[in-house]
Amino acid sequence: MVQRIEVPAREGRGALVQAGTRFRAVDVEGKQCGDVFAFCAANPSEFASAEHTRVSCGRLFPRIGEQFVTNLRRPILTIVEDTSPGKHDMLVAACDPTRYQLLGVQSWHASCQENLQKVMSEFGRADIEVPQPINVFTNIPVLGDGSLDWRPALTRPGDSITFRAELDCYVVLSACPQDIVAINDKNPTRMALEVLDG
Ligand SMILES: [Zn+2]
């Protein structure tokens, strides 16, 4: 491992990685969802796109060996390993301040949208769109009647998912601060972003 970036509970962190670099999102304590984003370093208006990826892989979420593509339909990430139970989501938007207002929160509440914007601002890239995330470890099954169910993550402490970057890109991991619905078992905890190649 080249670098382990601790992601405190409810916060986000990122790294600039080169094509060919593997990196890993780790659920350190278990039952924690992470929002993963990837933006092309050369042109951050090109980013990992959930809707284009669903078309590309013909599934709701890629399997090991399959790729996430950008809004220009170019491969940007490949899943190379997954030690988690394999429940991930690519259907729901990042949580944001309005989401928490609508859930009845009266004061400021951390969100994956603000975490992403803060990390990208620190990279000097404040002008990004907020794409639909790659919601790792997020257990929101589609039920038989078409409805979504917001269930706690099934991850155990130390579970991880490993990606390989196919383009030079900024990758961001937000430890989702959602504590109103049950996806983090109402107890948001820390994560880690491990860069595996130099
Ligand atoms: Zn979130």
Other C-beta atoms closer than 10 Å to the C-beta of 160 total 20
- Distance, CA 77 to ligand 1 centroid (Å)? 21
Query: Is 0.85 topped by the overall pTM?
Result: yes
- Distance, CA 9 to ligand 1 centroid (Å)? 11
- Distance, CA 136 to ligand 1 centroid (Å)? 11
Give alpha helix (H) positions in the chain. Answer: 50-57, 97-102, 112-122
pLDDT in tens, the chain (198 residues): 899 999 999 999 999 999 999 999 999 999 999 999 999 999 999 999 999 999 999 999 999 999 999 999 999 999 999 999 999 999 999 999 999 999 999 999 999 999 999 999 999 999 999 999 999 999 999 999 999 999 999 999 999 999 999 999 999 999 999 999 999 999 999 999 999 998
- Using an 8 Å Cβ cutoff, are 25 and 5 in contact? no
- Distance, CA 21 to ligand 1 centroid (Å)? 26
Query: What is the sign, positive or negative, of the torsion defined by CA atoms of 109, 114, 119, 123?
Result: negative
For tokens 């993963």, name the residue. Answer: 36
- Distance, CA 94 to ligand 1 centroid (Å)? 5
- Distance, CA 57 to ligand 1 centroid (Å)? 24
- Distance, CA 188 to ligand 1 centroid (Å)? 10
Q: Kindly state the helix (H) or strand (E) to which residue 68 belongs, with its residue range.
A: strand 67-69
- Distance, CA 110 to ligand 1 centroid (Å)? 8
- Using an 8 Å Cβ cutoff, are 40 and 167 in contact? yes
For tokens 């504590």, name the residue. Answer: 179
